[in-house]
């Protein structure tokens, strides 16, 4: 979810490009302030990261955990950096003299500002307990180089000065760094001096940007397996079945911390657009994401009665503040509570304006049984059923789903009261349910049995993996994954689909690697599409039907089992990633197939022997020997047999994507 991959060189190259793109190339002004995070050695577990102390070892720290940050600072000139929640060798990262002074400023020459992760300064006294009070935590962080807090502790600096814990000169140093960033953004200059103030709002979601989103999605897709040349599929199929919990799900395309795209496409929508008008397209979800995680849908209007009766839906009272204060400025019946306001207030239409909504009415279940009721939203919400608080949430990070099982009777009216308050920049809320579980697999198997080809769209979801999530299921805890296998309900469906004997394509969506040994042996074609963004459905369809020739490569190792990995809390690199893993991976780092074939010849290394620090040039001739144009990603790895110090098995040192 929050990494470019497992290799420090690859992560550094992508990070440098991203920082340069965000900050712009003007010699005087910044387009924006790029802030690489989380500095440093921050990988969970989520449940203990606010108090966790990491001891990675000096070699692993310097060779694995720090190089990407160093490149972003030294090469790309990142103007800010964000500290991590955890401790490193006993020091809270947001108040670490080793990280923030010795490494960042003295060794790397960083002259920007440091910002804490949200709430990390509170952690210094509340969870790390290296000091006892907010005043001590604020003073410690500022003194050691954390200039800006995302949180509520730094107001205690006034009292910290009074107590003699920190001087005004130390605070002035932080303030100077923060104002320097504002000067570089042109915030105090006439707009005509600042080139980036001339960028019109119309560039947002412009045709050029939509095209870029599509190209990024295309280039990220990895073809893992293509036995017998099953892919690409013909567009004039008589019929195709598109099944799986991710087949028609938009949230899995966006990951966490996403914006709200204007015209996203799901795999199902993308496939429907690509096949011929005569092709019959069958769809069924087939399974939940994981055991105990049914897919939830907006409660339909037919099952909602507004307060006072009348048409279907719930009465919504809209307030122009986030605290339900005063009288509502708008009252209406909303047939569905299924809103994504795309950053604006539904009242003012202005970006970021606070507002709140209270919906009231009744829920009328169509059948007896156990339902799962809940809300997906950002920023804060509370759902009451018959006066009982069912779920609540307050999130500054990203939208969260909270749901509970309840037993309901058919035809009975249940009082529903939903309060939603927006105090962030991504207002959205959905009132959701999962009716009593039926036979999900049956319709999917029926669809597959009727079809000429089956595309199973499976994998993970940002509702299961992410930052500090209220999730506790088989294989998933708190946003972390405790197993890397394809979730059991999906694997069971996949096996039943394969047993039908139809041509079968497995598409995986997710933010991390999956262990799929059964699929790797029994499914003829497998595509990894990650969380590909707003154009993901279109890009995936282009790959499946051969309009685009895939050339993505794995930035992470796909292991055979979680048993191949050391314990989560062990930050030593021994046995981790392609650089140190001595087993046989299912799919190695850098793997990826194409609809073309490529031949390498005339490998040259100059000079053949090099002295310490001397530049070496490596070249090769690459020929497309296939029948269609395509991209090849040339990868250069090095190793040092017989090195006097421990070295990786191999290391990526260069790569180039070429079109032939």
Cite the active site residues.
117, 465
Using the structure block, give the residue that is written with the tokens 């994504």. 340
Selection from 416, 415, 383 nearest residue 401 by Cα: 383
How far apart CA 41 and CA 242 sit, in angstroms, is: 41
Contact 488, 496 (CB under 8 A): no
Question: HSE on the CB side for 208, CA within 13 Å?
Answer: 3
Long-range contacts of range 263-268, CB-CB < 8 Å, 24 or more positions apart?
A: 263/210, 263/534, 264/534, 264/535, 264/536, 264/537, 265/534, 265/535, 265/536, 265/537, 265/538, 266/537, 267/242, 267/455, 267/457, 267/507, 267/536, 267/537, 267/540, 267/541, 268/242, 268/457, 268/537
How far apart CA 547 and CA 551 sit, in angstroms, is: 13
Selection from 121, 117, 119 nearest residue 144 by Cα: 121
Contact 464, 290 (CB under 8 A): yes
Concatenated DSSP letters of 493-517: HHHHHHHTTS-EEEEEE-SS--B-H
The radius of gyration computed from the CA coordinates of the chain, to the nearest angstrom, equals: 27
Strands (E), 519-562: 525-528
Using the structure block, give the residue that is written with the tokens 């807090």. 149
How far apart CA 280 and CA 236 sit, in angstroms, is: 10
Q: Six-digit token pair at 363? A: 């829920």
- Helix, strand, coil percentages in the chain from 3-state DSSP, rounded to 5: 25, 25, 45
Q: Six-digit token pair at 94? A: 């947001």
Question: β-strand 504-509 against 453-459: which pairing, if any?
Answer: parallel
Q: Which helix (H) or strand (E) holds 634?
A: strand 631-638
Q: Which helix (H) or strand (E) holds 14?
A: helix 8-23
Selection from 615, 578, 594, 602 nearest residue 658 by Cα: 594
């Amino acid at each position: 979810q929050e990494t470019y991959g497992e290799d420090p060189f690859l992560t550094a190259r992508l990070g440098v490009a991203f920082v340069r793109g965000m900050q712009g190339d003007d010699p005087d002004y910044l387009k924006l302030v790029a802030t690489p995070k989380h500095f440093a050695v921050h990988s969970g577990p989520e449940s203990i990261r606010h108090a966790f102390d990491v001891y990675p070892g000096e070699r692993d720290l310097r060779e694995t955990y720090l190089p990407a940050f160093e490149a972003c600072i030294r090469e790309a000139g990142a103007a800010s950096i964000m500290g991590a929640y955890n401790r490193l060798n006993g020091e809270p990262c947001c108040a670490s003299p080793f990280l923030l002074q010795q490494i960042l400023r003295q060794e790397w020459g960083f002259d920007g500002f440091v910002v804490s992760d949200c709430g990390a300064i509170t952690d210094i006294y509340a969870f790390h307990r290296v000091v006892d009070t907010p005043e001590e935590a604020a003073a410690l962080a500022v003194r050691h180089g954390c200039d800006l807090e995302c949180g509520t502790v730094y107001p205690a600096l006034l009292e910290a000065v009074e107590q003699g814990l920190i001087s005004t000169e130390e605070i002035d140093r932080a303030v100077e760094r923060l104002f320097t960033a504002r000067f570089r953004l042109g915030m105090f200059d006439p707009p005509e001096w600042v080139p980036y103030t001339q960028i019109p709002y119309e560039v947002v979601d412009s045709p050029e940007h939509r095209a870029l989103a599509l190209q990024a999605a295309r280039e990220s897709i990895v073809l893992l397996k293509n036995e017998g040349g099953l892919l690409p599929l013909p567009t004039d199929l008589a019929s195709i079945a598109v099944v799986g919990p991710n087949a028609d799900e938009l949230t899995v395309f966006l990951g966490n911390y996403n914006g709200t795209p204007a015209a996203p496409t799901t795999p199902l929508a993308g496939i429907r657009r690509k096949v011929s008008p005569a092709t019959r397209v069958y769809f069924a979800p087939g399974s939940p994401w994981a055991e105990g995680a049914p897919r939830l849908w907006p409660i339909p209007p037919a099952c909602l009665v507004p307060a006072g009766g009348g048409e279907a839906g719930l009465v919504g009272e809209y307030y122009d503040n986030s605290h339900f204060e005063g009288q509502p400025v708008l009252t209406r019946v909303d047939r569905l509570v299924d809103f994504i306001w795309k950053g604006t207030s539904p009242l003012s239409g202005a970006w970021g304006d606070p507002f709140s909504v209270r919906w009231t009415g009744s829920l009328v279940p169509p059948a007896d049984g156990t339902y799962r009721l809940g809300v997906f939203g950002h920023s804060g919400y509370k759902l009451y059923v018959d006066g009982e608080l069912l779920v609540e949430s307050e999130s500054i990070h990203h939208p969260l789903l909270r749901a509970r099982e309840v037993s309901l009777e058919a035809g009975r009216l249940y009082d529903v009261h939903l309060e939603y308050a927006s105090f962030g920049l991504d207002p959205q809320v959905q009132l959701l349910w999962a009716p009593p579980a039926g036979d999900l697999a049956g319709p999917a198997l029926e669809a597959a049995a009727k079809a000429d080809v089956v595309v199973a769209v499976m994998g993970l979801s940002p509702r299961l993996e992410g930052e500090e999530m209220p999730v506790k299921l088989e294989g998933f805890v708190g946003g972390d994954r405790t197993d890397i296998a394809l979730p059991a309900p999906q694997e069971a469906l996949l096996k039943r689909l394969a047993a039908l004997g139809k041509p079968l394509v497995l598409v995986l969506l997710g933010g991390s690697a999956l262990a799929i040994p059964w699929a790797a042996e029994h499914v003829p074609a497998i595509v990894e599409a990650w969380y590909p963004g707003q154009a993901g459905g279109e890009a995936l369809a282009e790959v499946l039907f051969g309009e685009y020739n895939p050339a993505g490569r794995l930035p992470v190792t796909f292991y055979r089992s979680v048993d191949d990995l050391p314990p989560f809390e062990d930050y030593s690199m021994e046995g981790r990633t392609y650089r140190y893993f001595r087993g046989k991976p299912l799919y190695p780092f850098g793997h990826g197939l194409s609809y073309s074939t490529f031949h390498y010849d005339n490998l040259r290394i100059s000079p053949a022997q090099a002295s310490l620090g001397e530049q070496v040039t490596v070249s090769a001739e690459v020929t497309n020997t296939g029948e269609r144009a395509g991209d090849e990603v040339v990868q250069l790895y090095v190793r040092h047999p017989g090195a006097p110090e421990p070295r990786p098995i191999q290391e990526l040192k260069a790569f180039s994507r070429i079109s032939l």
